[in-house]
Amino acid sequence: MQFDYKDQVVLITGAAGGFGRLAAAEFARAGAKLVLCDLDAGRLEELKASLQGSNAIVETGDVSQEETHRRLVSRAVATHGRLDVAINNAGVAHAFTKITDTDNATMQQMLAVNVIGVFLAMKHQLPAMERQNSGAILNVSSVAGIVGAPLLAAYSAAKHAVIGLSKSAAGEYARKGIRINAICPAFAKTHMLTGMLDQMRGGAEAATQRIVSNMPMRRFARPDEIVQAMLWICSRENSFMTGHALVLDGGLSAV
Ligand SMILES: NC(=O)c1ccc[n+]([C@@H]2O[C@H](COP(=O)([O-])OP(=O)(O)OC[C@H]3O[C@@H](n4cnc5c(N)ncnc54)[C@H](O)[C@@H]3O)[C@@H](O)[C@H]2O)c1
């Protein structure tokens, strides 16, 4: 399906990663003006170079810091006069660990990036959208934000919080023309997943076989299957969906 984002200003965090990079390319192809953020300056510059002619604004920054969001939104508004879509996608996971072996610093990092990062993003994006009486925000949670994830408790807790933030904000802004949703993917082959598989018992290949054999579709997601949903959820055509947490897990949480 093709969506038209011509002249819409689209902000993406975690833009240099698996979903983010592909989302940037697809939104650019659909005509969007991009504002891109990531912690990784090198990969962000590579991404900008790959998006020839798109005039993307890129900002290296940490989403757990309020200043990052202040800068991103003010650059979007100063350059283009508006902010139409925000994909709050930056996130971090941790190594598979029992709760009793999870250190406080890991828990704090999960909350700082995955929860405070989304909270601060919306805090700065919403006033810009409110001035226009329009906008769409999509926060990237996880299937681990819908069901528990043994050995990933800190990540799962943080991703549950993303859904609480998204639904609450959706209620606050529904009458102001701003839609706020979350997506809950599972197991798509990005840096995040390959990093986790490498650390698992027996190595990545054996871990992949174990996980995939428990998935109804017997395969991981392709990143483009998640990114296509992003384009649809934020599109003007999808005008009545707000406060929703859409699961994209190949049936994993259904059975
Ligand atoms: N890949 C999966 O299977 C999967 C499943 C469920 C949810 N998710 C979620 O999808 C989102 C994107 O992950 P991905 O799979 O593309 O992983 P990824 O590791 O490829 O990309 C994440 C990006 O976020 C950036 N980032 C990390 N911390 C940051 C910070 N503090 N400030 C700014 N940028 C930061 C990283 O540099 C990286 O480019 C994450 O929120 C992740 O939790 C992924």
CATH number at residue 88: 3.40.50.720
Measured over the CA atoms of residue 152, residue 160, residue 14 and residue 245, the dihedral's sign is positive
Q: Are residues 178 and 201 in the same domain?
A: no
Average pLDDT, integer, range 94-100: 95
Q: Are residues 140 and 203 in the same domain?
A: no
Confidence tier at 200 by pLDDT (50, 70, 90): confident
In a domain, 96, yes or no: yes
In a domain, 1, yes or no: no
In a domain, 115, yes or no: yes
Q: What is the CA radius of gyration of the chain?
A: 17
- Residue 199, pLDDT above cutoff 90: no
Using the atom order of ligand 1, give the atom closest to the CA of residue 195.
Answer: 19
Q: Are residues 157 and 65 in the same domain?
A: yes
Report whether residue 90 contacts ligand 1, using a CB cutoff of 6 Å: yes
Q: pLDDT per residue over 63-96, tens digit each?
A: 999 999 999 999 999 999 999 999 999 999 999 9
Q: Are residues 214 and 154 in the same domain?
A: no
Q: How far is CA 42 from the centre of its chain?
A: 20
Range of the structural domain that residue 147 is part of = 9-186+222-247
Query: Is 155 an annotated catalytic residue?
Result: yes
Q: Are residues 116 and 235 in the same domain?
A: yes
pLDDT of residue 251: 97
In a domain, 238, yes or no: yes
Total number of domains constituting the chain = 2
pLDDT of residue 3: 93
Residue in the block written with tokens 């809950």:
184
Candidates 166, 160, 156; CA nearest to 88 is: 166
Q: Are residues 175 and 99 in the same domain?
A: yes
Q: Are residues 198 and 114 in the same domain?
A: no
Report whether residue 170 contacts ligand 1, using a CB cutoff of 6 Å: no
In a domain, 37, yes or no: yes
Q: pLDDT per residue over 21-53, tens digit each?
A: 999 999 999 999 999 999 999 999 999 999 988
Cα of 218 vs centre of ligand 1, distance in Å, is 23
Q: Are residues 197 and 241 in the same domain?
A: no
Both structure tokens of 223: 């990143």
Confidence tier at 2 by pLDDT (50, 70, 90): confident
Cα of 93 vs centre of ligand 1, distance in Å, is 8
Both structure tokens of 217: 């579709």
Q: Are residues 83 and 203 in the same domain?
A: no
Average pLDDT, integer, range 130-158: 98
In a domain, 4, yes or no: no
Cα of 14 vs centre of ligand 1, distance in Å, is 6
Q: Whose CA is nearest to atom 14 of ligand 1?
A: 18
Confidence tier at 131 by pLDDT (50, 70, 90): very high
